[in-house]
Amino acid sequence: MYAVEVENLTKIYGTGETAVRALTDASFRVSPGELVAILGPSGSGKTTLLTSIGLVTEPTHGRVVIDGITVADEGWLPGLDLKRIRRERLGFIFQAHNLIPFLTALENVMVAMEINGVGRKEAKQRGLDLLGELGLAERAGHYPSHLSGGQSQRVAIARALANRPRVILADEPTAALDTENGSNVMALLKRLAVENHSAIMVVTHDHRMVHGFDRILDVSDGRIVGERRNGGTA
């Protein structure tokens, strides 16, 4: 079973004269354990693609299937609890600085589990385990303002992994990092994709990181115009 299936996905924002066609007929599939980049210029539709898979943006046409569940087919499928599917099956990673500033690293990770109904004790244990795995055991009690960019990004990754999602969606996760930290984050995402058998989709402008991906989807003007494996020639 694929982790993500997208078929003829089209998104038009607004209607009439002000309508903006952000995506046209995008189709692809992502397997569990695959690390996929969505690469393209500003305004090409990358974020729209990611947020459509992330159950945030309602597709105008086409089908989206997440972890075997058809979530959209000519618009959201009626009767689905999208919030629940999002909480249970998806993990989101954004740029480094969206941690909750008044919670410690550990609490930032725990909160993701607690809103999913995980008890405090269990959330704390898993949070500590995850931070340990990401090399942040010593930083668990620190507030985001006392973490480096790379450390904050690893906390954000721990938080995205907390509920063991089948699909992880990341928007420019290395943009705010220097090359070394960016490469470390990429290596980590790759390891996590394989070990956890998660599909990871990353929107990036960052050509420095492109070699780390299994596959690259090139997006231009709302269309997927190319697909390369293992970094290709970029």
Considering the complex, state which of residue 44 and residue 60 has its C-beta at the smaller distance from ligand ATP.
44
Q: How far apart are CA 94 and CA 122, in angstroms?
A: 25
Q: Which residue, among 28, 46, 36, 40, has the nearest Cα to 190 in the 3D structure?
A: 36
Here the tokens at position 26 are: 């995008």
Q: How far is the CB of 40 from ligand ATP (least distance, A)?
A: 6
Q: How far is the CB of 205 from ligand ATP (least distance, A)?
A: 6
Considering the complex, state which of residue 57 and residue 104 has its C-beta at the smaller distance from ligand ATP.
57
Cβ burial, residue 63 (10 Å; 0-12/13-18/19+): middle
CB count, 10 Å around CB of 161?
Answer: 21
> In Å, how far are 24, 122, 137, 150 from 129, measured between CA atoms?
42, 11, 8, 18
Considering the complex, state which of residue 35 and residue 219 has its C-beta at the smaller distance from ligand ATP.
219
SS3 83: helix
Interacting residues with ligand ATP (CB under 6 A):
13-14, 20, 22, 40, 42-48
Considering the complex, state which of residue 47 and residue 184 has its C-beta at the smaller distance from ligand ATP.
47
Q: How far is the CB of 21 from ligand ATP (least distance, A)?
A: 8
Q: How far apart are CA 190 and CA 96, in angstroms?
A: 18
Considering the complex, state which of residue 111 and residue 176 has its C-beta at the smaller distance from ligand ATP.
176
Q: How far is the CB of 124 from ligand ATP (least distance, A)?
A: 36
Considering the complex, state which of residue 32 and residue 45 has its C-beta at the smaller distance from ligand ATP.
45
Q: How far is the CB of 69 from ligand ATP (least distance, A)?
A: 24
Contact present, 196 and 161 (Cβ < 8 Å): yes
Q: Which amino acid, one-letter code, is at 99?
A: L
Q: How far is the CB of 82 from ligand ATP (least distance, A)?
A: 18
